[in-house]
Amino acid sequence: MERKWLWKVVLLVLLIAFAAAAGLPTFVKAPRDGSDRISWLREIFPGINLGLDLQGGLRLIYEVGVDEAIEDKRDHMAEAIVNELGERARVKNVKIVGSRENNYQFSLVFPSAQVVSTDKVKEVLKDYRRIVVETGADGATVNMELKSELVEETRELSIKQAVETIGIRIDKMGLANTSVIPRLATQDIIVQIPGVDEAMISRIKRIIAQTARLELKIVDDEGTQAFFMEGAMREKLAALAESGDAKVSLGREPDTGHYYLEAKNELHGKTGLQLLEAFLKDVEFPENREISFQEEQGRDAAGNPTADVTWRTWFTRKVAGITGEYIDQAAVQFEEQGKPYVSLTFNQEGSGIFADLTGENVNERMAIVLDGRVQSAPVIQEKIAGGSCRITLGRADSLDNLMAEARDLVIVLNAGALPAPIRPVTETTIGPQLGDDAIQMGTYSFIMAVAVVLLFMILYYRGAGVAADLALICNAVFLLAILSGAAATLTLPGIAGIVLTVGMAVDANIIIYERIREELRGGKSPRAAVEAGYKRAFWTIFDAQITTFIAGVVMLQYGSGEIKGFAVTLLIGIVTSMFTAIVISRLVMDFMTRRRTDELSI
């Protein structure tokens, strides 16, 4: 019995020493001169990090444009149906008409009602079980609507993917202790970045908000003749010329003879992009064609950027030949002159698609479109089988800014595109002074809680109270060690959870000690009373703690960031308090009754 007890004491001392070492990096800050004597320990136990409410930093709330995601899903499914009708049913010239009232409804207009009634067309439409299909009154129109479960699935998936993508982008920037969580019952995402300085805020917001949707589209240069010089567009341009308004003008490339629109940024008015979008607002485009825009920076004779910025149009195919989802890697590379550009390498499937795209469109221009803006439009000289291309950058005013732009673009491309655009809702910059005050008050409350509990246990339970106090101190050491080893982020609610744990830690000892008193009043010896007290009180303690543990799990699963911080410290505190109350205090009580069997100070 003696040897068994000694072994328990030795193991306990080693465990306490290990826990104290694990918590050391939290309380001993690394010196700035690099002479850190416990750097090896920090690699194993990073220490506890301070949350946004304690350290200060940036809190952003974004709204996910789920309506755009649903509309994008609708358009892709419509394109897939039309393509499958062409391949399986040999039906061509099927037009897609999207509903302006509902973003999950669209119609397919067939050449005739007889085509719709064929078995092959019905078979193709029947395969799309997640779309409601209804034939129109004229027989040649098929009205289609995404089912409610598909709409809801798209809504939830777009928010989930946005959370994951933003999290990856922030991680790639090297920002630590951040949190990206969705706000329940809304379309909002909460981004919290503690410890960030003012210089980083604009860059962080730019990288987070960039959709990074990359599309490679073939330019329809030949189609510009018919689009700009015939029909409604010709009349619109003629009316513009008669009005004498020179804000938007028609240009023609001297080497190819292809047409485009251009507009310059006004000094104190609209941008060229806004002018072009307003001019094209009510224009109907040919089937599978659209207008993309490119910003061109004006430069002087020496090549230096000027204040003149011109926007121009590109007449491209609406459906992209290949998108950024096939990117395997993006990296910054340099031209011979030292100018950086972004090199893209596609995965195996993307390489095949890119090879087919370039092989079928030799001598055509391919617009590299990022977030709806054309970055460049090189001519395809030959089939490219290597599965790689480049994005040239040229809007930055210096080489350093150009390099920064390239690096940021690599971050968002490697992290993936956002499934839907996000819009800023609120932005809050929290100063560190609030954190200092909170830490000070939290520390005072923790010390006061521990001191009062320690004093009460000694006054009320005498010698047995010392055992409970030792268990309480060990509980605090173990709790901080676990948080330090897990590099947990401590918040104000987390501090509240620690303070609550202090009270809960002695609750188990109180139950045990009252049971021991009953056994002593029943005439048992101190050693027998201790044995019976711990044995009979165990399940009472377990039942009380397990109900609190279940509540903590629910808060951790469904609570917001602040509630989760409280739940984490509460759950860890329940486990450590059970261990210290049952194991450590028992060892001390065994020591107290080991020699004296006639009396117990309780």
Question: In the sheet that 105-109 helps form, which strands lie side by side, from edge to edge?
Answer: 95-98, 105-109, 141-146, 131-135
Asked whether the beta carbons of 179 and 192 are under 8 A apart, the reply is: yes
Distance CA 228, CA 249 (A): 12
DSSP-derived secondary structure letter, 566: H
For the stretch 328-355, pLDDT in tens is: 888 888 887 778 888 888 888 888 888 8
The confidence score (pLDDT) of residue 260 equals 92
Give CA 56 to chain center in angstroms. Answer: 20
User: What CATH architecture applies to the domain 2-54+433-595?
Assistant: Up-down Bundle (1.20)
Take residue 53 and report the two structure tokens written for it: 């409410």
**Among residues of the chain, what percentage have pLDDT more than 70?**
94
Domains 2-54+433-595 and 67-150 belong to one CATH topology: no
In the predicted model, what is the mean pLDDT of the chain? 83
CATH of domain 67-150: 3.30.200
The confidence score (pLDDT) of residue 324 equals 81
Question: In the sheet that 188-194 helps form, which strands lie side by side, from edge to edge?
Answer: 179-182, 188-194, 57-64, 422-430
The confidence score (pLDDT) of residue 311 equals 92
Asked whether the beta carbons of 170 and 190 are under 8 A apart, the reply is: no
Which whole number is the average pLDDT over 433-441? 65
Q: Encode 508-533: b = buried (16+ Cβ within 10 Å), e = exposed.
A: bbbbbbebbbebbeeebebbbbbbbb
pLDDT band at residue 2 under the 50/70/90 scheme: low
**Among residues of the chain, what percentage have pLDDT more than 90?**
3
Q: Is the pLDDT of residue 131 over 70?
A: yes
Among 548, 559, 562, 516, which Cα is nearest to 535's? Answer: 516
Q: 3-state secondary structure string, 65-125?
A: CHHHHHHHHHHHHHHHHHHHHHHHCCCCCCEEEECCCCCCEEEEECCCHHHHCCHHHHHHH
CATH of domain 214-426: 3.30.1360.200
Residues linked to residue 314 through DSSP beta bridges, in sequence order: 292
Which whole number is the average pLDDT over 62-89? 86
The confidence score (pLDDT) of residue 220 equals 92
For the stretch 411-424, pLDDT in tens is: 888 877 787 888 88
Please name the residue ranges forming H helices in 173-287: 198-209, 223-229, 231-243, 272-279
Asked whether the beta carbons of 408 and 207 are under 8 A apart, the reply is: yes
For the stretch 500-558, pLDDT in tens is: 887 777 888 888 888 888 888 888 888 888 888 888 888 888 888 888 889 888 888 87
The confidence score (pLDDT) of residue 35 equals 63
Give helix 585-595 / helix 526-558 axis angle, nearest 10°: 180
Residue 102, judged by CB atoms within 10 A of its CB (0-12, 13-18, 19+), counts as middle
Asked whether the beta carbons of 313 and 329 are under 8 A apart, the reply is: no
Distance CA 361, CA 382 (A): 8
Q: Is the pLDDT of residue 55 over 70?
A: yes
Which of 33-37, 119-123, 290-294, 411-415 has the least mean pLDDT? 33-37
The confidence score (pLDDT) of residue 396 equals 55
Which whole number is the average pLDDT over 3-29? 81
The confidence score (pLDDT) of residue 261 equals 92
Report pTM.
0.65
Which whole number is the average pLDDT over 375-392? 84
Distance CA 488, CA 51 (A): 9
Q: Encode 230-255: b = buried (16+ Cβ within 10 Å), e = exposed.
A: eeebeebbeebeeeeeeebeeeeeee
Which whole number is the average pLDDT over 52-57? 74
Asked whether the beta carbons of 133 and 142 are under 8 A apart, the reply is: yes
Distance CA 384, CA 381 (A): 9
DSSP string, 279-322: HTTTPPPPTTEEEEEEEEEEE-TTS-EEEEEEEEEEEEESS-SE
Q: Is the pLDDT of residue 283 over 60?
A: yes
DSSP-derived secondary structure letter, 186: S
Q: Is the pLDDT of residue 394 over 70?
A: no
Distance CA 211, CA 413 (A): 9
Q: Choose between 39 and 189: higher pLDDT.
A: 189
Count, residues in the chain: 602
How far lies 542's CA from each of 290, 476, 498, 568, 575, in Å?
67, 20, 20, 19, 10
Strand ranges for 388-501 from DSSP E: 388-392, 422-430, 489-490
Domain chopping of the chain, boundaries: 2-54+433-595, 67-150, 214-426
